[in-house]
Amino acid sequence: MKVLICDKTEKEYIEQMRAAGLTVDVRDDISPEELPNVLPAYDGMVVRSRTKVRQALIDVCPNLKVIVRGGAGLDTIDHEYAKSKGIMVMNTPLANSASVAELAIGYMLMMARSLYRATASVKAEKWDKKSFDGDEIGGKTLGLIGVGNIGKEVSKRAAVMGMTVLAYDPYVKEIEGIKLVPLDELLARADYISLHLPKTKESAGMIGAEQFAKMKNGVRIVNCARGGIIDENALYEALTNGKVSGAALDVFAEEPPTDWKLLKLDNVIGSPHIGAATKEAQARVGAEVADKLIAFAKNGK
């Protein structure tokens, strides 16, 4: 089986695939323009967030049998269309969970103690202690929107730090250690809201002006899930009128953003979609990708 690696994958696991008899070519800098000319020669492909696999690309690849995405979501792939063409689509849902969860918790701590602004202040050679009175996250209520693998990991860490955890997930009926509540109740009660759900037709834009109006004054928002779940214009308004006291964003509706106004606000911190960018997560992703492709080559599933 011939496999094209389209995005960064750990070398150790590429060699593991080769040792198992797969022909593996690495083009982890391949452009969207080049891909339709190159991919038709391959049976399988490995992608991450950078490479998008849309219907037009699938249509010019009659030999494609399997797509593996190193990551939790499938929104970068037209996966239903691929499946309709007989292409197996797989991801690595567990590999990134701890890394994304730690980033979300870290963001909560940064906002609680104004660490970004405090660091900028001392780097500017200022000693302005009075401007950085913070608060503890222990004793606060965390509302999780989505309690899949990542949401569960966030909940574990938050509970250890003394937070009360509520969650909303329309696809989960019961979960040990987490109180499930309707979305409106979560919005009304949470001091921190952290998103951990895929972007779908149902979730796109689900947090907008109507939902912000139902939140506590001074709520803080974390999004390490997918851009586009939060209406960014509504978030900007909520951040500037005081409804939301802080937002931490690892993901954006457009990546990279074409409008940077959110990130120019003093009460917003952000990062360039790095939730899974740890050495440990990269290794787990590589191992899971290799296992799935080797099994597919042997068994066809």
What tens digit of pLDDT does each residue of 26-70 get?
999 999 999 999 999 999 999 998 899 999 999 999 999 999 999
The yes-or-no answer on residue 273 being catalytic is: yes
Same domain, 25 and 128: no
Between CA 220 and CA 222 the distance in angstroms is 7
Phi/psi-derived region of residue 162, left when phi > 0, alpha when psi is between -120 and 50, beta in every other case:
left
Between CA 195 and CA 198 the distance in angstroms is 9
- Tally DSSP H helices, then E strands, for the chain: 11, 12
Number of domains the chain contains: 2
Q: Taking all residues of the chain, what is their mean pLDDT, rounded to a whole number?
A: 95
CA atoms within 13 A on the CB side of 191: 15
Same domain, 106 and 25: no
Domain CATH code at residue 107:
3.40.50.720
Same domain, 158 and 136: yes
**In this structure, what are the phi and psi dihedrals at residue 250, rounded to the nearest 5 degrees?**
-100, -10
Out of 113, 117, 185, 255, the active site residue is 255
Out of 157, 273, 284, 288, the active site residue is 273
The boundaries of the domain holding residue 106 are: 97-270
Out of 48, 220, 226, 284, the active site residue is 226
The yes-or-no answer on residue 34 being catalytic is: no
The yes-or-no answer on residue 255 being catalytic is: yes
Of the pLDDT bands very low, low, confident and very high (cuts 50, 70, 90), residue 301 is low
Between CA 176 and CA 164 the distance in angstroms is 14
The amino acid occupying position 143 is G
Same domain, 252 and 131: yes
Between CA 266 and CA 239 the distance in angstroms is 10
Position 91 pLDDT exceeds 70: yes
